[in-house]
Structure 1
Amino acid sequence: MVRTLPIASSSSSPLSVSTHNRTYLLPQYSSLKFSSLCTNNNNSNNNSNNGTSYTYDPSRRLALFQLGTAIPQSQLFGGKASKLLRAEGNVIEASTSGNMAPTSTAVAEQSVLEWVKNDKRRMLHVVYRVGDLEKTIKFYTECLGMKLLRKRDIPEERYTNAFLGYGPEDSHFVVELTYNYGVDKYDIGNGFGHFGIAVEDVAKTVDLIKAKGGKVTREPGPVKGGNTVIAFIEDPDGYTFELLGRGPTPEPLCQLMLRVGDLDRAINFYKKAFGMELLRKRDNPKYKYTIAMMGYGPEDKNTVLELTYNYGVSEYDKGNGYAQIAIGTDDVYKTAEAVKLCGGKITLEPGPLPGINTKITACLDPDGWKSVFVDNIDFLRELE
């Protein structure tokens, strides 16, 4: 699992990645831009780290490794060693014999998309920063009913992580809170929307939150144009949570909402590159917004990604509080290729992390939201 640590002091700061108990320093690298086979609008974003920097744990004495190493096509999709080249909008397959044969973009795209559809993917956790870890843990456990699953302090790196959720990490979506020593406040920005929590009694939960000193920004009541009872609250750092009245569910931490500048582009990207389903889409012209629910299963049993488009708004301030989501995959190499072909930007080339050999890759969607893909088997091994 990738950990997001202290904030960068400048764009030239070195990058490192940590998983579980290890942190690795990575060399600075240039942003890569890719043409899109899946969309016509490839909106690159220069904020490749979402305002994040990372630090190195000197006690582990791990060697640096190069981010920009090319991955042979044979490792990505099997068969003869070849690579895809682009020329005047077409895909050219260059075989080891040196013969060049043009093929349609649809054929190349279909090969990737078929694999993505069959990949075993699950949303693992969401990472964001908080200014008072103990206060936040207390709020989440006492007011929202979460459990503290584990906690680790890395004093040499001056940060602490805490994992909370409604069930074990190998089967539930959880939150990963990061506290950086001496930093008590973060800018959440206006791009991040909210987390969704399914509760059986919204009014009772709101009363408890009020009794604990929590902030309620929308009192319980039916959603506009529907019957579902909802309420909105804020945690101690100002992150918004939507409480949704639902019956018992295996996944109470049920939503993660992000705002996007082009909804159709975002839907297309998450369907093709991430293998998510479009579960439903709803337009609300009265309030000038449209939402799309994306995920790996039905909303009542899985955590879903809620994409929101506000009429006429194409860009958002992401701040420095929210970091990323992590998603499990059977193959980080093929995942990275799918992301590239569908207009995403790879910010960490796929491969094993030194020392523990957990395979990961990191990317940005067309709106600049970061995701990290983690090898499914390696993830379970780390939890052990």
Structure 2
Amino acid sequence: MASSENVLEWPQKDKRRFLHAVYRVGDLDRTIKFYTECFGMKLLRKRDVPEEKYANAFLGFGPEDTNFAVELTYNYGVDKYDIGTGFGHFAIATEDITKLVETVRASGGKVAREPGPVKGGTTVIAFVDDPDGYKFEIIQRGPTPEPLCQVMLRVGDLERSIQFYQKACGMKLLRKKDVPDYKYTIAMMGYADEHETTVLELTYNYGVTEYTKGNAYAQVAISTEDVYKSAEVVDIVTKELGGKITRQPGPIPGLNTKITSFLDPDGWKTVLVDHVDFLKELGKA
């Protein structure tokens, strides 16, 4: 049997990327309209599952086999969700922040922060709210292959979270910034440079160790070449740092896509999805 040291090397060898973030919305068509007209996203696919009483839609800035997407879920008859205090925001990079913010405003969207330099820095950002109250940070940036560039979550112990995502998910710590004037520290975690791909932004607010999760944001999905090996690693890491496996590795009934899912030490959920199975789902393998 392989030692735990050898097992723990697997995430560094595995080819991984962020696939999509899953969250719930109160009106699917309203959100699709907002994301396509205001943000410039494309509707990639949509499906209705009446026997399970839900529908979902995938949107993003490029095909799902190369780009990150949002997976919106509408549960029949539920028009409102609690976002909670732990979920932070998604982020969109754009070459013209003023134009994007004005488009949101013209469509009746809420501009929560006008474009301007970030506190204590030079990057120009703005914040807008979507129709369900999810916050989107808009970042002024040059051309990028991945405009849908961040998922921000708040955590209670930043060092523990950094270690967890490095060990369990094979992410790199791309950047860490402490902002004592505003009493918070952030860590950017991911698989490639944050100007080229989607990253997980973990935020620690001084002295705050717990947040409410609400019932709106669900999870982030990441591809893996082997869900069984990956789950073995997660099992070891959760015993050390906290969190737990919520779904043992194996195929989803009826779909045959192999997945495993787990919670991090703060209760944030990640789903690891077999890379080849995912491409088959998309009709690309």
Q: Structures share a fold, TM > 0.5? A: yes
1:353 maps to which of 228, 252, 263: 252
Match of 1:342 in 2: 237
Alignment of 1:320-331 (within 5 A): 320-331=215-226
- Higher Cα radius of gyration: 1
CA–CA distance in 2 between the matches of 1:242 and 1:354?
37
- Verify: 1:114 aligned to 2:9, yes or no: yes
Tell me, yes or no, if the aligned pair for 2:125 and 2:139 is still in contact at 8 Å: yes
Match of 1:178 in 2: 73
Match of 2:177 in 1: 282
Give the structure-2-normalised TM-score. Answer: 0.96
Match of 1:232 in 2: 127
CA–CA distance in 2 between the matches of 1:109 and 1:140?
44
Return the offset for 1:248. Answer: 0.7
Deviation per residue, 1:331-376 (Å, 9 max, x gap): 1111111111112311101112233422110100011000110111
Q: CA-atom RMSD, angstroms?
A: 1.0
1:132 maps to which of 24, 27, 33: 27
Deviation per residue, 1:233-274 (Å, 9 max, x gap): 000000000000001100000000000000000000000110
Match of 1:374 in 2: 273
Counterpart amino acid of residue 266 in structure 1: S
CA–CA distance in 2 between the matches of 1:161 and 1:354?
18
**Equivalenced residues, count:** 279
Query: Structure 1, unaligned stretches of length 5 or more?
Result: 1-73, 78-107
CA–CA distance in 2 between the matches of 1:207 and 1:187?
27
CA–CA distance in 2 between the matches of 1:354 and 1:186?
28
Deviation per residue, 1:186-215 (Å, 9 max, x gap): 000010000010011111111111110000
Alignment of 1:57-96 (within 5 A): none
Counterpart amino acid of residue 265 in structure 2: P
Match of 1:86 in 2: none
Name whichever structure is richer in helix by fraction: 2
Match of 2:56 in 1: 161
Deviation per residue, 1:308-353 (Å, 9 max, x gap): 0000000000000000011100111111111111123111011122
CA–CA distance in 1 between the matches of 2:208 and 2:253?
41
CA–CA distance in 1 between the matches of 2:252 and 2:51?
20
Q: 1:221 to 1:332 in 2, by over 3 A?
A: same
Deviation per residue, 1:93-131 (Å, 9 max, x gap): xxxxxxxxxxxxxxx442122211000111100000000
Match of 2:37 in 1: 142
Deviation per residue, 1:22-76 (Å, 9 max, x gap): xxxxxxxxxxxxxxxxxxxxxxxxxxxxxxxxxxxxxxxxxxxxxxxxxxxx6xx
Tell me, yes or no, if the aligned pair for 2:10 and 2:230 is still in contact at 8 Å: no
Deviation per residue, 1:268-294 (Å, 9 max, x gap): 000011000000000011110000000
- Verify: 1:383 aligned to 2:285, yes or no: no
Counterpart amino acid of residue 350 in structure 1: P
Tell me, yes or no, if the aligned pair for 2:154 and 2:203 is still in contact at 8 Å: yes
Match of 1:310 in 2: 205
CA–CA distance in 2 between the matches of 1:360 and 1:129?
20
Give the structure-1-normalised TM-score. Answer: 0.71
Match of 1:365 in 2: 264
Tell me, yes or no, if the aligned pair for 2:93 and 2:148 is still in contact at 8 Å: yes
